[in-house]
């Protein structure tokens, strides 16, 4: 959410940013919110004048009442002033109600106006304009056929989609045996990987209040993603970033405690509305999964340096498991409204012979801080808004797709990279139960 003062003083910059994000339908919102803000500020000025007048008139009444003891004619003036006080009070009540109404309207519009993107963001309408920046590891195409990922899992008796469909419907799964163990091993390794990078491990609440949802994401993303608990002000989290950033709602953070670097485990729940046709089979796009996340809360001047570190952590993690990846810079039209800059880390799929998203790293500037009223008290005593960032460490079972395809052998076995041996009880190779 942008500062109304910034919008008021830089309307053309805000409009140009909207155009860069190909959201021209939102252009009228800029003039609308400026007009509402002007009306609100005028109401505030008039209300303040009435409050000052009330104090002045009260003093006049006191003085006249004192004079009326010797001059009863002063009582007539007192009644006139009292009538004026009553009229002013009625008008003040109207103005206070108007202020409250206008503040709600201003905030509602500001929540719809996208954040100012970083100048380095490539301009494009949708994800087809995202730009490959660099590759890490050599993508290989084996000389044997790579089965679909659930077919690989089924050779280990490792997945049961049919039972999950009977129990929960489409978009759910049972992971079993060695595949379930591999899933947990990757999460545990990712957790320790981030702890070794200096991050504090956390398990957050898996449900959050509506005001936290509004603080961490746009209404559009909320409608597409979030599951609401019927009859309660609670939502299931779509990622632990939501509750991890929400941890700081309405808080004054000591500057000495920055940066806050946290890595969190959680299940994630997503509607995935509008995502049909994108690898729908198997465990690629599902309603429930588990994830290890990283978030940073830092000084504004440090956020881009953290952004660079965070996506590189993802690259390092995947390369340590011998999975080729690439960094893809997200274009303006592919950025969610709160994001200043974002990139995806995509893993190589030998079966599809292309890359697919496994991590997403984002710098949100001060958008979440402003929405959640997060503040930092600087050494000079002044308050400012910190910047927030988030990135996926690893999100199996999607990550399992890349893992299984890249480690599958011609005989159907799957090799386990050394970094996972201790998490797999010393197992170095998974042997299929059936062909």
pLDDT at res. 205: 96
Instruction: Over range 109-124, report the average pLDDT.
Output: 97
**Residue 110 pLDDT more than 50?**
yes
- The residues, ordered by sequence, that sit 6+ positions from 277 with a Cβ below 8 Å of its Cβ are none
Ordered domains of the chain (ranges, CATH): 4-110 (1.10.287.40), 127-430 (3.30.930.10)
Residues ≥6 apart with Cβ < 8 Å to 90? none
- Mean pLDDT value across residues 285-299: 95
Strand partners, 132: 328
Q: Which residues contact 128 (CB under 8 A, 6 or more apart)?
A: none
Q: Average pLDDT for residues 235-254, to the nearest whole number? A: 96
Which of 295, 321, 401 has the alpha carbon at shortest distance from 357? 401
β-pair type (174-175, 341-349): unpaired
Give the confidence band of 61 by pLDDT, cuts at 50, 70, 90.
low
Listed residue (350, 362, 359) closest to 322, CA to CA: 350
- Residue 277: per-residue pLDDT: 47
Cα separation, 66 vs 63, in Å, equals: 5
When pLDDT is cut at 50, 70 and 90, the band that residue 259 belongs to is very high
Angle at 338 between CA 337 and CA 339, to 5 degrees: 95
Residue 145 CA: distances (Å) to CA of 19, 109, 149, 346: 46, 53, 12, 22
* Residue 28 reports pLDDT greater than 70: yes
Contacts of 401 (CB under 8 A, 6+ apart): 149, 282, 283, 284, 347, 349, 356
* Lowest mean pLDDT across 45-59, 119-133, 155-169, 344-358: 45-59
Q: Answer yes or no: is pLDDT of 75 > 90.
A: no
| Whether residue 273 has pLDDT greater than 70 | no
Residue 52 has pLDDT above 90, yes or no: no
**C-alpha distance from residue 428 to each of 156, 182, 185, 399 (Å):** 15, 11, 13, 19
Nearest Cα neighbor of 205 from 257, 259, 241, 232 is: 241
Percentage of the residues of the chain whose pLDDT score is greater than 90: 80
Report the mean per-residue pLDDT for the chain.
92
Strand partners, 415: 429
CB 367 within 8 A of CB 117: no
pLDDT of 278: 47
pTM score, two decimals?
0.89
Encode the chain in three state secondary structure.
Answer: CCCHHHHHHCHHHHHHHHHHCCCHHHHHHHHHHHHHHHHHHHHHHHHHHHHHHHHHHHHHHHHHHHHCCCCCCHHHHHHHHHHHHHHHHHHHHHHHHHHHHHHHHHHHHHCCCCCCCCCCCCCCCCHHHCEEEEEECCCCCCCCCCCCHHHHHHCCCCEEHHHHHHHCCCCCCEECHHHHHHHHHHHHHHHHHHHCCCCEEECCCCEECHHHHHHHCCHHHHHHHCEECCCCCCEECCCHHHHHHHCCCCCEEEHHHCCEEEEEEEEEECCCCCCCCCCCCCCCCCCEEEEEEEEEEECHHHHHHHHHHHHHHHHHHHHHCCCCEEEEECCHHHCCCCCCEEEEEEEEECCCCEEEEEEEEEECCCHHHHHHCCEEECCCCCEECCEEEEEEEECCCHHHHHHHHHHECCCCCEECCHHHCHHHCCCCEECCCCC
Q: Which residues, in sequence order, are CB contacts of 67 under 8 Å at separation 6+? A: 74
């Amino acid at each position: 959410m942008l500062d109304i003062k910034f919008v008021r003083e830089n309307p053309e910059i805000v409009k140009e940013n909207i155009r860069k994000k190909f959201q021209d339908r939102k252009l009228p919102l800029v003039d609308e919110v400026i007009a509402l803000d002007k009306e609100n500020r005028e109401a505030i000025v008039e209300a303040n004048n009435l409050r000052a007048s009330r104090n002045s008139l009260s003093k006049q009444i006191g003085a006249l009442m004192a004079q009326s003891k010797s001059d009863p004619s002063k009582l007539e003036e007192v009644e006139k002033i009292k009538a004026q006080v009553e009229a002013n009070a009625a008008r003040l009540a109207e103005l206070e109600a108007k202020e409250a109404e206008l503040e709600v309207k201003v905030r509602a519009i500001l929540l719809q106006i996208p954040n100012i993107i970083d100048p380095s963001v490539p301009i494009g309408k949708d994800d087809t304009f995202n730009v490959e920046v660099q590759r890490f590891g050599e993508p290989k195409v084996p000389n044997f056929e790579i089965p679909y990922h659930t077919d690989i899992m089924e050779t280990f008796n490792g997945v049961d989609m049919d039972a999950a469909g009977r129990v929960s419907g489409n978009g759910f799964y049972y992971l079993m045996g060695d595949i379930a163990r591999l899933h947990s091993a990757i999460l545990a390794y990712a957790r320790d990987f981030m702890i070794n990078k200096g991050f504090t491990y956390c398990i957050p609440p898996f449900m959050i209040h509506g005001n936290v949802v509004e603080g961490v994401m746009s209404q559009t993303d909320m409608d597409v993603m979030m599951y609401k608990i019927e009859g309660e002000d609670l939502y299931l989290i779509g990622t632990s970033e939501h509750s991890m950033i929400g941890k700081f709602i309405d808080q004054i953070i000591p500057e000495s405690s920055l940066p806050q670097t946290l890595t969190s485990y959680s299940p994630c729940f997503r509607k995935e509305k509008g995502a049909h046709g994108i690898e729908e089979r198997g465990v690629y796009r599902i309603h429930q999964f588990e994830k290890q996340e990283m978030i940073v809360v830092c000084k504004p001047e440090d956020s881009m340096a953290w952004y660079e570190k965070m996506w590189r952590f993802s690259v390092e993690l995947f390369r340590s498991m011998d999975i080729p990846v690439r960094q893809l810079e997200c274009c303006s039209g592919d950025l969610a409204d709160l994001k200043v800059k974002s990139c995806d880390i995509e893993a190589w799929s030998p079966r599809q012979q292309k890359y697919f998203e496994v991590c997403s790293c984002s710098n949100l500037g001060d958008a979440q801080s402003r929405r959640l009223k997060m503040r930092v008290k600087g050494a000079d005593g002044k308050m400012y808004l910190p910047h927030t960032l988030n990135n996926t460490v690893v999100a199996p079972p999607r990550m399992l797709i890349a893992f299984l395809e890249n480690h599958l052998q011609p005989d159907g076995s799957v090799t386990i990279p050394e970094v996972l041996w201790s998490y797999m009880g010393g197992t170095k190779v998974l042997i299929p139960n059936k062909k």
